Structure 1
């Protein structure tokens, strides 16, 4: 049996390597992502491609693609809640949350989702909606989890 004829076994998908985000101005958007998240260019900017490609810390690429017309990366779930397309995994969510708030980035309320971790939603310059998550109980001691929750939810 040739390599091409070999039957797929198990899960053939390994990870998501690239995410494409519609934006009005790729360079302005890239500066925003750099300022708020520390992302760096994955490849040099090529104006002919009308996109900026930034690299996440895990190696995945975030493509900021110039788009004309209305931008809407959301969709309603069954009960009508406008969903985001994906969730970023982070560490030290409390520092990121504080950083984004101090930079006047639009963020929604924090949510403690128990075993799923702590989440919040943020929006980029073009109104694209993104979710952020840290499963704190996996990455931290119980004492550290309580300290993070006290910091994040002290005003709730």
Structure 2
């Protein structure tokens, strides 16, 4: 038997999300995030598979009864299971707010970037992140922080 050398896990290729109505949920993800179908919908599978921009698959799996993708931390915080990486977080945040998506406030997590939490129509909690210090010039990052966290007038 050969031995695995180093880190054997390369990436997350699929995310599974419990939903009540996969087609309705898929339309929501398409409208708010521009996701496209990874494969044609097959009603027999009771799920829709959408594709993220880097190729990972988001499986919207039909479930019954109460569900969500959160779990309580030791301190009682309802923790999300996923953080999605985004660009132009401020644009996405304002688009989701305009579309009536339930969101928490933007947070500057400093070296971890700017984040906010949102909920899908089934109550699943997700986090989005942009490490503005890596993806933008220092001047652009400071402008974004100033506009989001220290607005003038």
TM over 0.5: yes
TM-score (norm 2): 0.96
Tell me which of 135, 140, 143 is aligned to 2:139.
143
The match for 2:55 is 59
Does the residue aligned with 1:70 lie in a helix, a strand or coil? coil
- 1:24 is aligned to 20
Measure the CA separation in 2 of the matches of 1:151 and 1:27.
Answer: 37
Give per-residue Cα distances to partners, 1:86-145, cap 9 Å, x unaligned: 100011101100110110100001110110000000000100000000000011111101
Which residue of structure 1 lines up, in the alignment, with residue 74 of structure 2?
78
Counterpart in the other structure of 2:83: 87
Spell out, residue by residue over 1:66-93, the C-alpha distance to the aligned partner (whole angstroms, 9 max, x if none). Answer: 0000012111111111000010001110
After TM superposition, the score normalised by the length of structure 1 is 0.94
Of the three residues 9, 13, 18, the one matched with 1:13 is 9
Q: Which runs of 5 or more residues in structure 2 are unaligned?
A: none
Per-residue CA deviation, residues 11-64 of structure 1 (Å, 9 max, x unaligned), is: 100000000000000000000000000000000000000000000001000000
Aligned residues: 152
| Structure 1 equivalent of residue 105 of structure 2 | 109
In structure 2, the partner of 1:97 is 93
Partner Cα separation in structure 1 for residue 45 and residue 91 of structure 2: 34
For residues 68 and 60 of structure 2, the distance between their equivalents in structure 1, rounded to whole angstroms, comes to 14
